[in-house]
Amino acid sequence: MAHHNDFGKIAEDLAADYLQKNGYKILIRNFRFQKAEIDIITEKNNQIIVVEVKARSTDAFILPQEAVTKAKIKSIVSATNYYLEEFKKEKEVRFDIISVLPDENKNLMIDHIKDAFQAFDAN
């Protein structure tokens, strides 16, 4: 497995741990629909929270959350709609981004951006 894949897996594990420690119930990880993948689907306060995890080994070029493009949002929304229908979930949905970046001491830092985008941002 390539180093960036290892780092992505570490970032997703870190994000899942963070979410659980903050009262989120992990429903599923790496949910796939067609070519789309949702990193983490959680539930909290009777709401479904879809989480895109973005990690970078440096912020020199672009912040992780800036890598969530309109096309990525469209694929996340499409996969979310399928998930909601498939598992008969009739709850409000929120889309979050968790950004993982190392600080100056190489410690991985989490930035949880709640309500990072809306379904209509995919249009």
Q: How confident is the model at residue 1 (pLDDT cuts 50, 70, 90)?
A: very low
Which 3-state string (H, E, C) describes the chain? CCHHHHHHHHHHHHHHHHHHHCCCEEEEEEEEECCEEEEEEEEECCEEEEEEEEECCCCCCCCHHHHCCHHHHHHHHHHHHHHHHHCCCCCEEEEEEEEEEECCCCCEEEEEEEEEECHHHHC
> What does the pLDDT look like over 83-109, one tens digit per residue?
999 989 889 999 999 999 888 888 888
What are the residue ranges spanned by the domains of the chain?
A: 3-122
CATH architecture of 3-122: 3-Layer(aba) Sandwich (3.40)
Kindly report the average pLDDT of the chain as a whole number: 88
Q: Is the pTM of this model over 0.75?
A: yes
pLDDT tens digits for 31-45? 999 999 999 999 999
Mean pLDDT throughout 45-55? 94
